[in-house]
Structure 1
């Protein structure tokens, strides 16, 4: 049924629920797994006036890469405990929902698993919802874990 599952994580405790559920599903189905994390575009408006933009961007890239590596290493370790082999993918400087959908397409995934806070109303408007955007625009099934 689902032969290649894309699991999205931002490293949060909530996202870990999605990772755990996605890995369990992959184990039960014998599916291939790709775990993805996305680091967003650079907030150039927040540049410190005392630093050059290039230095600021270089530091952000290094920090994002280090953070993504920590997230993906933890997810990969969880997969290995379940005797699963997974691919990991860091997509830097991208809008998360679009990057998740694009990764699913390019990796040939047929299911996306991700977590959601389940915010509604004004909280959803103010805080945004990458999960809602993925649900609205994905062309493959999306399993949302709360």
Structure 2
């Protein structure tokens, strides 16, 4: 029986869809949730536009502000479904590691997340955080598309 679900979100439309599905599942099971947003650390060499345009301080302020908006939406969705929900924001070089370690630290029974469906060269170059979680997690992982 699932009692505690970790849902990872980056705020994208697919991720938002996964959050809504995870909240529905948690509501039906009487489970609680932890919502996690992982921020990338600032890098001097990058292809992320915000990091190219901002100083480290500006980037971190922008990333925190974005995380608050993303997690506020999750909190509201969970509250509307009467699902207890804790939110966590972390900065980590490897989001999949942060997702797995947070699920373990919070004693979650399952991880829920979206798959962005990258294929071909894009999947090879960018990789898939979902695939990495599936590969490395010892907990069950529910992937929404």
> Is the partner of 1:44 in helix, strand or coil?
coil
- Preserved CA contact (<8 Å) 1:5 1:113: yes
The separation in 2 between residues aligned to 1:60 and 1:92, in whole angstroms, is 12
| TM-score between both structures, scaled by the size of structure 2 | 0.89
**SS at structure 1 position matched to 2:55:** helix
Segment drifting more, 112-121 vs 6-15: 112-121
Q: Using the alignment, how far apart are the partners of 2:100 and 2:125 within structure 1?
A: 23
Q: CA deviation at 1:69?
A: 0.4
5 Å matches for 1:1-146? Answer: 1-45=1-45, 56-146=55-145
User: Contact 1:5 / 1:110 at 8 angstroms: preserved in 2?
Assistant: yes
Q: What is the number of equivalent residue pairs in this alignment?
A: 138
In structure 1, runs of 5+ residues without a counterpart are 47-54
Unpaired segments ≥5 residues, structure 2: 47-53
Report the TM-score, using the length of structure 1 for normalisation: 0.89
CA displacement, residues 31-90 of structure 1 (integer Å, 9 cap, x when unaligned):
1100000001212225xxxxxxxx922222111110100000011111111112200000
Radius of gyration: which is bigger? Answer: 1
Alignment partners' CA distance in 2, 1:60 and 1:117: 24
Separation in 1, partners of 2:33, 2:95: 19
The aligned counterpart of 2:49 is none
